[in-house]
Amino acid sequence: MERTARGAALIGAMVLVACGHDEPTFNPPGGEAGTSGGNEGGSSAGTGGAAGTAGNAGAGNAGAPPAVPVWGIDCGRPAVAVTSPRWAGFQRGITLGNRLDAPSEGAWGPVLQEGDFDVAAESGFDHIRLPVRFDAHAETDAPYTVDESFLVGRVDWAVEEALDRGLNIILDFHNYEALHTSVDEQRERFLAIWQQIAEHYADAPDDVAFELLNEPNTDLTPSVWNPLASDVLEIIRQSNPDRTVLIDATEASNAAQLGSLEIPDDPNVVATFHFYEPSLFVFQGQEWIGPAWGTTGVVFPGPPPDPVDPIAAVAAEDWAAQWFEDYNTLPIEENPGGPRAIFDHFEYVEAFVEQTGIPVYMGEFYAMDGSDLESRATWVRLVREECERRQIGWAVWEDGTSGYLFDHVSGEWSEPLLDALTSPMSEASGEPCAG
């Protein structure tokens, strides 16, 4: 997620277009595969050992359970047509946002601390996705030197904190705003920064993965992003020939754009997407996005027990006005604020896996704190289960402000959310939709 004016515009644009079982497994190279907790909640990372086999193995066929309800809500949950090759050791994670990806650490509230890693490890997660604004700590003129004190003092520290607790970690290049809008001017700097990062971590264990760029968007269309991503990957491979590298879909890591990715022929690449739909539920009350998102009281799933009266600003946005009309009136099976909004999105993911056999990963999802806790927990559980039914590893967004999962002082979780993230998969009941 990008907490910027550009990020807000992207969320607005996106609304207009808008995990574990058996083999195959995608094992991080050079290490024994981690054991995922899958449907039982919690998993442990693989950390070293005999060389593992990696590769874009063929996609698994439908070995997932049949349609299953979420807390008694069974709305024609579709059968899984294809499962992703499992990315071992990266099945259940937390994205620690608004920390090292802020303009300066602490500017957006939270500061990265030991307790963040303790909470993840003690709660049964197997990895951390760490957004880092590397460009804020690099010179603007060639050779674009990255500040060694930041790289060692904060990023290395975070890597060590994760690995010491048996957590794998993804280093995600986050919030490089200038690159999205001035690609030609920033291209050389982007490549130079990645060369330094790659060389710095050349000897790091395979439990450390790289994510090239968070949510490529704006000027980073597929025709621009694909060759740029290929060039960055080539630079990384000079010093890290086997490290797992994640490549985001365009339009802000939109699953609908996975099919436009041109993944190089590389056995250690994972495609990644984010999920924040339906956005008028997920981002309700988040006025930094835009006036249309100012309405609160939106529950999940729709329709609501009593119609929600949107704020006056919604009338100026035809798409939002129509969404609320449908949300208030349509039955749960057809409701834009119901499970269908989630199920339909995963069809894009299945199509990509079926076509390519490339592992996929969901690096962000969460319903922000403007919604009621029960709705958030229901939504979180449903999205997480749709991942796990397809063997897709995931990381839930946590930013300490509007995306709040646990107390940053005591480490105490919101129990409904922890349960939604780690409890066993729902059992099929065969009950019809109830709304």
- Does 427 score more than 70 pLDDT? no
Residue type, 188: E
Q: What is the pLDDT of residue 2?
A: 62
Q: What is the pLDDT of residue 59?
A: 42
- Does 67 score more than 70 pLDDT? no
Q: pLDDT exceeding 70 applies to what percent of the chain? A: 80
Nearest to 176 by CA among 219, 208, 147: 219
Task: Label residue 348 by pLDDT band (50, 70, 90).
Answer: very high
* Residue 382: burial class (beta carbons within 10 Å; 0-12, 13-18, 19+): buried
What structural domains does the chain harbor? 5-283+332-422 (3.20.20.80)
pLDDT tens-digit profile of 133-180? 999 999 999 999 999 999 999 999 999 999 999 999 999 999 999 999
Task: Label residue 408 by pLDDT band (50, 70, 90).
Answer: confident
Strands (E), 196-283: 208-211, 245-248, 269-275
168-173/60-61 β-pairing: unpaired
Q: What is the pLDDT of residue 400?
A: 86
Question: Rounded to whole angstroms, how far apart are CA atoms 139 and 133?
Answer: 13
* Residue 427: burial class (beta carbons within 10 Å; 0-12, 13-18, 19+): exposed
* Chain mean pLDDT for the chain: 85
Question: Rounded to whole angstroms, how far apart are CA atoms 159 and 204?
Answer: 9
Task: Label residue 403 by pLDDT band (50, 70, 90).
Answer: confident
Apex CA 63: angle with CA 55 and CA 343, to 5°? 95
Q: What is the pLDDT of residue 385?
A: 94
Q: What is the pLDDT of residue 41?
A: 32
